[in-house]
Structure 1
Amino acid sequence: MKRSMKTVVASTILVGSLALAGCAPATGTDQNAGKDAPLTGLTGTVGAKDFSEQYILGNMVSILLNDNGAKTDYKTIVGSANVRTALTSGEFIGYWEYTGTSWLAYNKKDAPVVGVKAQYDAVKEIDATQGVAWLDGAPFNNTYAFAIKSDKAKALGVKTLSDVAKLPVADQTFCVESEFAARPDGWAGVKTTYGMPGATTITLDTGAIYSVTADGKDCNFGEVFATDGRIKALDLTVMADDKAYFPVYQGAFTLMQATLDKYPATAGILNKLTVLLTDQVMQTLNAKADVDGDDPADIARTFLVEQGLIKG
């Protein structure tokens, strides 16, 4: 969700670069900023991956931590692996991660664990051996999916990815982002699982995928995220993953266990936010950024105020 329009990028550039996409303080209202505040002494950077959902979530965490006595700023960098490395190297004090990503991409497992709780428990256990702690999992599941213009879906008669695999090869055109093209849980597995060896892919910036898919000229099917507000706004229809290829991508805030041990109040403070984040809530918040063009920091602060987590 990098948001440039119709920009083709090479995967080696997008995934390999540790590029600064945004770095700014996210100060809270500091209602609890006195010496007895639970997070006094906690300093550092809250990280985020390079798309709107992460911008919003990262800002939420930084604002909420600061409101409880911490002094943090916020930074976005490109590439999931780079963000994880920033956590384990100490550049970030924490960031929002997805269970399927850690299980398959970082821990190199061959297949996902079936079930939301089972996948979360498995990831939490294996990451603990690397000193990475997972706070409570949120209700939302930001899994990958493929979408097509709704009128074109009707014209082609497709509702599932198995239906897509039965189309003429000329109609099997997909827009994907470079990271998805290279991920172990990405395009190669989709093509193999559904039997589409002749399918054509075009690699685009994430934000461009939505607009190009809605335009329907360069590709029929675009890689999307289940919690993205542009799916509804652009009248796209998501193809059912009827062979259950994609794993669960439940969101949760991750941080080093050493940080959590030193500031245990972090868990209780952030889990009050986490429990509120359903698929529908995230779709609405993401649409404010990607459809309405609102600033992610403003979206984050407004939500925290509306939910009574900070004072306005």
Structure 2
Amino acid sequence: MTTQPITRRTRRVLAGVGATALAVSLAGCGLDESSSVGNDVAGGGECGGLVATGDAIDPEGLTDVPVVVGSKDFDEQLVLGELTSQYLCLWGADNSTDLNTQGSTQARDKIIRGENDIMWEYTGTGWINYLGNEEPIFDPQEQYDAVKEADVENGVVWGPLSPFNNTYAFAVTEDFANENDVATHSDMAAYIDENPDSTVCVESEFANRPDGYPGFKQAYGITGGDEQSLGTGVVYTQTGNGNCDFGEIFTTDGRIAANNLVVLEDDEAFFPLYNGVPVTSVDYDEQNPEVLEALTPLAESLTTEVMQDLNTRISAEGQSPEQIASDYLVEAGFAEEG
């Protein structure tokens, strides 16, 4: 995979980065504090065994710039958090992580309060959940632009738009799909109408989100079904084992293939676009505008197919976020083993 060269504008911004270190206090509820990647690039060492390579990274571009990378509490977020931390380390940042914060709102609040500096958010989540809009925008760039413009008033700055779209859908086993001729969400609604005791498994947050199951049921006219709230990872295995007829999934999740699931088409286009974007606070961006600039090549490299692959490595193969991040940075041409 090739990376996008850094722009001349970015080089001008990065040229003005100072070398003054700021003190950072790491918020203490992340599971991965012990795996934080320390930066010793300025001292001639390496970041997690890697050194920067290619034109996309300036190893001195963020020298001593403090950054605490946060994340939510599911696999994709853990990979994105570790990937971002290691990537910024290659730029020379004074980086650390506070990953695995439970709940979207809690993770976002850490950014707003300045406890964490960077995390990955999703455009649909921002537009529907945080900004309170009911109608999504189905053009990725227009949805991003609308969220970015509106969320500044809440103290949040949205960085470079990534092409991967981690939206919601329901899935069934391949056997269930074939036996019951189910291929779309409308087919799912029709099946539940005929079989009101059919089991629909969702994770707890999705069960209460306006862009989650309550709105989905209204959009597709679902009134029956035995709704069960499970842990995110459990939904995949229970659906794959046949204990759930329908399971809520993320479309970039590696457990789809691992459990031989078939993703149903959202034929009424209910679910918003959930393109990934690194976000920060207005205060942090004003002090360190070069950080979001530096993240542009990484964000542009993360397609839906790439995220499906990275998520398979953590969710299905059991690899650690640290190893996945390190391997990807090498595969994508951002780094090489030192």
Cα deviation 1:236-258 (Å, max 9, x = unaligned): 11111110000000001001133
Q: 1:42 aligns with which of 49, 65, 68?
A: 65
TM-score by length of 2: 0.82
Amino acid at match of 1:295: S
TM-score by length of 1: 0.89
Cα deviation 1:79-138 (Å, max 9, x = unaligned): 001101111011110100000001111111122122111110000001122221111111
Maintained 8 Å contact 2:39/2:95: no
Amino acid at match of 2:73: D
Cα deviation 1:185-236 (Å, max 9, x = unaligned): 111011111111112211100011100000012x101010010111122211
Which stretch has the larger CA shift, 181-190 or 169-178?
A: 169-178
Maintained 8 Å contact 1:149/1:236: yes
CA–CA distance in structure 2, aligned partners of residues 270 and 229 of structure 1 = 24
In structure 1, the partner of 2:220 is 194
Aligned-partner SS, 2:205 = helix
CA–CA distance in structure 2, aligned partners of residues 171 and 153 of structure 1 = 17
Maintained 8 Å contact 1:105/1:184: yes
Higher strand share: 1
In structure 1, the partner of 2:178 is 154
Q: Measure how far apart 1:169 and its partner are.
A: 2.9
Maintained 8 Å contact 1:25/1:72: no
In structure 1, the partner of 2:310 is 285
In structure 1, the partner of 2:109 is 85
Matched, 1:139 2:163: yes
Equivalent residue runs for 1:228-307 within 5 Å: 228-307=253-332
Maintained 8 Å contact 1:164/1:172: no
- Structure with larger Rg: 2
Query: Residue 33 and residue 70 in structure 1: after superposition, are their counterparts in 2 closer, same or farther (change >3 A)?
Result: farther
Equivalent residue runs for 1:205-216 within 5 Å: 205-216=231-242
CA–CA distance in structure 1, aligned partners of residues 146 and 294 of structure 2 = 24
Maintained 8 Å contact 1:98/1:252: yes
Matched, 1:119 2:148: no
Maintained 8 Å contact 1:33/1:66: no
Q: Measure how far apart 1:41 and its partner are.
A: 3.5
Maintained 8 Å contact 1:180/1:186: yes
Aligned-partner SS, 1:255 = strand
Matched, 1:101 2:111: no
Aligned length: 293
Matched, 1:224 2:249: yes
> Which segments of 5 or more consecutive residues in structure 2 lack a partner in the other structure?
1-27, 45-58
In structure 1, the partner of 2:96 is 73
CA–CA distance in structure 2, aligned partners of residues 29 and 126 of structure 1 = 34
In structure 2, the partner of 1:163 is 187
Q: Measure how far apart 1:176 and its partner are.
A: 0.3
Maintained 8 Å contact 1:22/1:77: no
CA–CA distance in structure 2, aligned partners of residues 235 and 171 of structure 1 = 23
Aligned-partner SS, 1:227 = coil
Q: Measure how far apart 1:23 and its partner are.
A: 2.2
> Which segments of 5 or more consecutive residues in structure 1 lack a partner in the other structure?
1-17
Query: Residue 33 and residue 172 in structure 1: after superposition, are their counterparts in 2 closer, same or farther (change >3 A)?
Result: farther
Amino acid at match of 1:55: L
CA–CA distance in structure 2, aligned partners of residues 99 and 77 of structure 1 = 19
RMSD across aligned positions (CA): 1.8
Cα deviation 1:151-188 (Å, max 9, x = unaligned): 11111111111111111233642110000001111110
CA–CA distance in structure 1, aligned partners of residues 109 and 155 of structure 2 = 12
CA–CA distance in structure 1, aligned partners of residues 42 and 150 of structure 2 = 35
Q: Measure how far apart 1:46 and its partner are.
A: 0.6
CA–CA distance in structure 2, aligned partners of residues 61 and 150 of structure 1 = 35
Q: 2:202 aligns with which of 162, 176, 183?
A: 176
